[in-house]
Amino acid sequence: MEGDVLYHHGIKGQKWGIRRFQNKDGSLTAAGRKRRGEGADGGIHPDYQSAHGRKSIKSMSDSELRRRNDRLRMEREYAKLTARQSKGKKIIKTVIATAGTITAAESAYKTYSRVITKALDKIGNLKI
């Protein structure tokens, strides 16, 4: 480097730490909105919007509809397979299963004892 020369590689007159397309509160200036493509001047190109926008079911082709259905089905299956069960749900499931088993055993015991009682009464009433 010959001599002491400082080359400027920024925007002439812009202060350090001041953003060119953004206000202090984070909102965009008019130039920032135009640059990003928002507002009246910018925006999404109509061809892009028609290709990537939401379509009605009637305007979809069979392959598009099949693709979307397959995707939704796969997402649902994935969510079901990877769903994490909370500790509370696990405890409730075991309590309900245990209570169901106890209730079934109790009702079976009552039915069994009722049948046995009737059978013994019949045997006791027989005359030999």
Reading the block at residue 17, the tokens are 């730490």
Which band of pLDDT confidence, cut at 50, 70 and 90, is reported for residue 9?
Answer: confident
Q: In the chain, what are the domain boundaries? A: 18-52, 57-83, 85-128
Q: What is the pLDDT of residues 88-98, one digit of tens each?
A: 888 898 999 99
Which band of pLDDT confidence, cut at 50, 70 and 90, is reported for residue 40?
Answer: low
Q: Rounded distance, CA 3 to CA 11, Å?
A: 24
Residue 22 CB partners (closer than 8 Å, separation 6+): 28, 29, 32
